Amino acid sequence: MLLTNVLIILYEEAYGLHATPNFTVVFLANLPWLVFPLVILLRMGLDERPFIHPVRQSDLQPSHSNPSAPVEVSQEATLSKVRRPNLPVQKSFADHYGPWALVAGASAGLGAEFAEQLAARGLNLVLVARRAGLLKTLAEGLSAKYGIVVRDIPQDLAESQAAERIAQATRDIEVGLLVYNAAFSAIGSFFQRSLDDHLLELSTNCRTPLALVHTLGQRMLARGRGGILLMSSLSARQGSPYIANYAATKAYNWILAEGLWEELRRQGVDVLVCCAGAISTPNYDASAPSRSSRLSGAASTPQTVVASALAGLGKGPEVVPGFGYRLSAFAMQHLLPRELAVRIMGNVLRGMYTA
């Protein structure tokens, strides 16, 4: 609330009807009230339990009339004071999300990293992508490296029958985890891209993941366990010029995953949406962002994004990899007026994708 109030004041002082000619002075006067909540948010982002101190041995010892006298505390007694009784046995990742994981959009970049980290966790893989050669090379490499079984399904995920073909090809196995990473992005001015491009975005980014979730999700419900992970984007949180339709399709995945998370979480199926910022993948480089944005170091690595996404399964409806991106997402969605958030996105994307 403090941060919100100060940002509103600064916005009015900078852009309001009675904007001050001495904004620097106003900003410096309010700076302490900006720093304090930001420090708290930073602490919360870096530490899972930022306001809890670890139990010390001295805290476990009873008071004694002679503090210097030794107090014998057995290890078993000590542990009994800090352990919660009757905790359920934690199942392994492979137990809950195996024995097979399906990664859609797996031939390179983020999808290939999902395949790598899931293989390292002992899951057999079904890899789906359009580029058959890259897919087969990846499948053979992971099978040899981790000793798992890998199926590769060359499939254009924009085709209307893509989900049905994938469902048929996996009917004889138990797919315990669906990762939909595939996406098509028509970058540029909305009217400079063809209608076919925008419809291709809808097919790849919305229709096929919906169909796969519906088909494979029913099988997970019948078994009483499983997971669904949909990749979204921070651009989905507000209108995003120059990728307007892409951002809208990613908003669909975001809202779909949140609703299914609440609907299925008591039935053994975990649903998660990963809202990532820029990721240093071949597709990101091929989109030709400006040299300055590439060198800024803001883009996350596929390794960190995938690790955050897999760690978030079963813990909530959404994960935003990277503390900087989490702070940015919070500010853009909750602290700034929506019009200002859209304008900021416009300025960022205009700088990246226009001359």
The whole-number average pLDDT for the span 172-184 is 97
pLDDT on residue 298? 66
Shared-domain flag, residues 99 and 33: no
Rounded Cα gap, residues 246 and 199, in angstroms: 10
pLDDT on residue 349? 85
pLDDT on residue 90? 52
The residue range of the domain holding 10 is 1-46
pLDDT on residue 31? 75
Shared-domain flag, residues 16 and 131: no
Shared-domain flag, residues 40 and 99: no
Are the CB atoms for 226 and 97 separated by under 8 Å? yes
What is the number of domains present in the chain? Answer: 2
Active-site option among 250, 284, 325, 353: 250
Q: Collapsing DSSP states into helix, strand and coil, what is residue 106?
A: coil
For the question of residue 180 being annotated catalytic, the response is: no
Are the CB atoms for 281 and 303 separated by under 8 Å? no
Shared-domain flag, residues 28 and 162: no
Confidence band of 69 (pLDDT split at 50, 70, 90): very low
Residue 315 lies in a domain: yes
**Segment holding 129, helix H or strand E:** strand 124-129
Q: Which of 73-87, 139-153, 165-179 has the lowest mean pLDDT?
A: 73-87
Confidence band of 159 (pLDDT split at 50, 70, 90): very high
**Alpha-carbon torsion (55, 56, 57, 61), positive or negative:** negative
Residue 15 lies in a domain: yes
Q: What is the tens place of the pLDDT at every residue in 261-288?
A: 999 999 999 999 999 988 867 666 555 5
Confidence band of 51 (pLDDT split at 50, 70, 90): low
Residue 58 lies in a domain: no
Q: Comparing C-alpha atoms, which of 93, 94, 113 is closest to residue 103?
A: 113
Active-site option among 97, 146, 180, 246: 246
**Segment holding 153, helix H or strand E:** strand 150-154
pLDDT reading at 28 higher than 90? no
Residue 73 lies in a domain: no
Confidence band of 76 (pLDDT split at 50, 70, 90): very low
Rounded Cα gap, residues 29 and 24, in angstroms: 9
Residue 51 lies in a domain: no
Shared-domain flag, residues 167 and 270: yes
Shared-domain flag, residues 101 and 40: no
Residue 319 lies in a domain: yes
pLDDT reading at 139 higher than 60? yes
pLDDT reading at 241 higher than 60? yes
pLDDT reading at 244 higher than 50? yes
pLDDT on residue 57? 46
Could you tell me which residue, 283 or 336, shows the higher pLDDT?
336
Q: What is the tens place of the pLDDT at every residue in 92-123?
A: 899 999 999 999 999 989 999 999 999 999 99
pLDDT on residue 234? 93
For the question of residue 146 being annotated catalytic, the response is: no
pLDDT on residue 11? 73
Rounded Cα gap, residues 208 and 180, in angstroms: 9
Shared-domain flag, residues 145 and 245: yes
Provide the CATH number for the domain around residue 206. 3.40.50.720
Residue 174: how many other CB atoms lie within 10 Å: 14
The whole-number average pLDDT for the span 213-219 is 97
pLDDT on residue 288? 52
Confidence band of 294 (pLDDT split at 50, 70, 90): very low
pLDDT on residue 165? 97
Could you tell me which residue, 295 or 257, shows the higher pLDDT?
257
Indicate the average pLDDT of the chain: 83
